[in-house]
Amino acid sequence: MRFGTSGWRSIIADEFTFENVRKVTESICSYLKTQNDASGTTLVIAHDSRFMGETFSQVAAELAAKKGFKVLLSNHPTPTPTVSHAIRDQNAVGAINFTASHNPPEYQGIKFSTSDGAPALPEITKQIERNFESGTNCPNGSGGKIEDFDPRRAYLEDLKSKVRFNEIAAAHGSYVYDPLWGTGRGYLDKILRDNGLECETLHDWRDVTFGGRPPEPSEGHIPELIDMVKNGGITLGIATDGDGDRFGIVDENGTFIEPNQLIALLTDYLYESRGWREGAARSVATSHLIDRVAEDRGIKLYETPVGFKFIGELINRDEIILGGEESAGLSIKGHYPEKDGLLACLLAAEAVAVRGKSISQQMEELYSRVGRLESKRIGVKLNDEVAQKLKDKLSKGPSEIGGRKIEKINRLDGVKFIFTDQSWMLMRPSGTEPMVRIYAESESKEILEELLEQGRKYLLED
């Protein structure tokens, strides 16, 4: 059992079994007991809309209560950012969340978050892994119980304090929302309607197969939303993934807005609209467009390893306006140290309403100030042969790839080759799926495609 960038994920009935769920829960409880007196201590347990999520969470709740924890057991599929808010709102020691986020439907997962609402850092998850491997038993305790818990209202009230709904409402826009059968149903559409806005919801029912595709709000997975926006009359198409921590944005003309673009644009918008002057943060795999925005606005840029927990630390220390990852996750100053796809969609709607321009128009204006960058990633299926080649390649320091001279190598997470023309390529194993990711960025689409192909060849060639 290994925790990746966002928890432990595995295939249901293969490694994700009741036996292993109990072992992981016991390992988490053991860790928590080393930090606190567990008697009556509050622990949030929640689940997304995946197969048997409520059953797995009930099993975990019963075990945690036996160990002496007061368990707040969410009574419906709950977005990950809502779980983060609930930890803080209820002064909990942490949360066990049954989610595999955007992974295919056959996956289930456990995500552990600490008392600050952030995903557990590596030093914590390594301790949980050691507890699992050693078969550490967590002693039973007193004062344990399970309480039915509904975190929705408090979370939505908190969102209202961070988004300017009066500005959105004044623009009289119309929205289409695709929760991809996930936890955003009854959250993002509800808060828009509660504020007098027109919002139509697609896929507004639970489907544990997610329509037979991964519940990821990327361009290839939201064709119905894109088609509906293209038909006209829609201000913005918005989408979230299975657990609500990732976003997807479709402009009024049906153009899919890449996450890298929105992260840069919202950093610029929040600097302008809120008067915030803290820094901006991105993961090593995220577009350098945010670097250019930071330079243009005169604020500090932070680069982190992949995994939102690292950006979450900067949020907690109030050092950034916004932190984001190219995999469609972001959070902002004063929010929680966790990705929030619902917040991202609402801020996109606010930027359109306040500026009176579509996202595409705003991006063109941003490009005119800081220059255009094109970015993309591809995946190579990970097997033993590819894993060994990756290990060999990452240990080397080539001077060029595909005839392109390397100026600098960044080993913060994986290996990132920065070329003399400031284009770059990153190779790293995914922390959530069995594949190697190859990321690249350039000012030219043609060079971008060349970089990705050269990266694939470099990885696979002997």
At residue 450, the 3 state secondary structure works out as helix
- The yes-or-no verdict on residue 38 having pLDDT over 60 is no
317-343 b/e with 16+ CB inside 10 Å = b?
eebbbbbbbbbbbbbbbebbbbbbbbb
Whether the CB-CB separation of 203 and 178 falls below 8 Å is answered with yes
| Distances, alpha carbon 247 to alpha carbons 214, 222, 326, 328, in Å | 14, 11, 11, 6
Q: What confidence score (pLDDT) does residue 40 get?
A: 63
Pick the CATH number of 374-460 from 3.30.310.50, 3.40.50.280, 3.40.50.2000, 3.90.1150.10: 3.30.310.50
Task: Report the run of H or E that residue 223 belongs to, with start and end.
Answer: helix 223-230
Lowest-pLDDT choice from 228-242, 393-407, 417-431: 393-407
Edge-first strand order for the sheet with 145-149 is 8-11, 107-114, 94-98, 42-47, 70-74, 145-149
At 189-225, the pLDDT tens digits run: 999 999 999 999 999 999 999 999 999 999 999 999 9
Select from 386, 33, 345, 297 the least CA-distant residue to 163: 345
Residue % of the chain over a pLDDT of 70: 98
Residue 219 Cα to chain centre, angstroms: 16
- The yes-or-no verdict on residue 439 having pLDDT over 90 is yes
CA distance 250 to 230: 9
Q: What confidence score (pLDDT) does residue 436 get?
A: 85
Q: What is the DSSP string of 256-312?
A: EEPHHHHHHHHHHHHHHHH---SEEEEETTS-THHHHHHHHHT--EEEE-SSHHHHH
Q: 407 — phi, psi (to 5°)?
A: -95, -35
At 351-377, the pLDDT tens digits run: 999 999 999 999 999 999 999 999 999
Select from 292, 295, 293, 339 the least CA-distant residue to 315: 339
Q: What is the DSSP string of 345-373?
A: HHHHHHHHHHHTS-HHHHHHHHHHHH---
Residue % of the chain over a pLDDT of 90: 81
Q: How confident is the model at residue 158 (pLDDT cuts 50, 70, 90)?
A: very high
Average pLDDT over residues 321-346: 97
CATH topology agreement for domains 259-359 and 374-460? no
**Burial zone of 369 (CB within 10 Å; 0-12 exposed, 13-18 middle, 19+ buried):** exposed
- Please state which CATH class domain 8-151 belongs to: alpha beta
Q: What confidence score (pLDDT) does residue 386 get?
A: 78
Question: Regarding predicted confidence, which is higher, 333 or 383?
Answer: 333
Lowest-pLDDT choice from 100-104, 218-222, 432-436: 432-436
- Owner of token pair 């495609």: 449
What sections of 36-93 are H helices per DSSP? 53-66, 80-89
Q: What confidence score (pLDDT) does residue 262 get?
A: 98
Q: Where are the beta strands (DSSP E) in 155-203?
A: 174-178, 198-201
CA distance 390 to 405: 20
CATH 3.40.120.10 fits 156-257, yes or no: yes
Which sign, positive or negative, has the C-alpha torsion 381, 385, 388, 390? Answer: negative
Q: Where are the domains of the chain?
A: 8-151, 156-257, 259-359, 374-460
Q: What confidence score (pLDDT) does residue 401 get?
A: 87
Residue 85 Cα to chain centre, angstroms: 15
Average pLDDT over residues 404-408: 92
Average pLDDT over residues 38-57: 91
At residue 28, the 3 state secondary structure works out as helix
- The yes-or-no verdict on residue 157 having pLDDT over 80 is yes
Question: Regarding predicted confidence, which is higher, 347 or 307?
Answer: 347
Q: What is the DSSP string of 78-102?
A: --HHHHHHHHHHTT-SEEEEE--TT
Lowest-pLDDT choice from 57-71, 240-254, 408-422: 408-422
Residue type for position 271: Y
- Give the CATH number of domain 259-359: 3.40.120.10
Q: What confidence score (pLDDT) does residue 37 get?
A: 62
Average pLDDT over residues 418-436: 86
Average pLDDT over residues 301-329: 95
Q: What confidence score (pLDDT) does residue 430 get?
A: 79
Average pLDDT score over the chain = 93
Non-local CB neighbours of 169 within 8 Å, separated by 6+ positions: 195, 196, 197
Tokens of 293: 């925005």
Q: What confidence score (pLDDT) does residue 100 get?
A: 93
CA distance 254 to 446: 24
- The yes-or-no verdict on residue 404 having pLDDT over 80 is yes
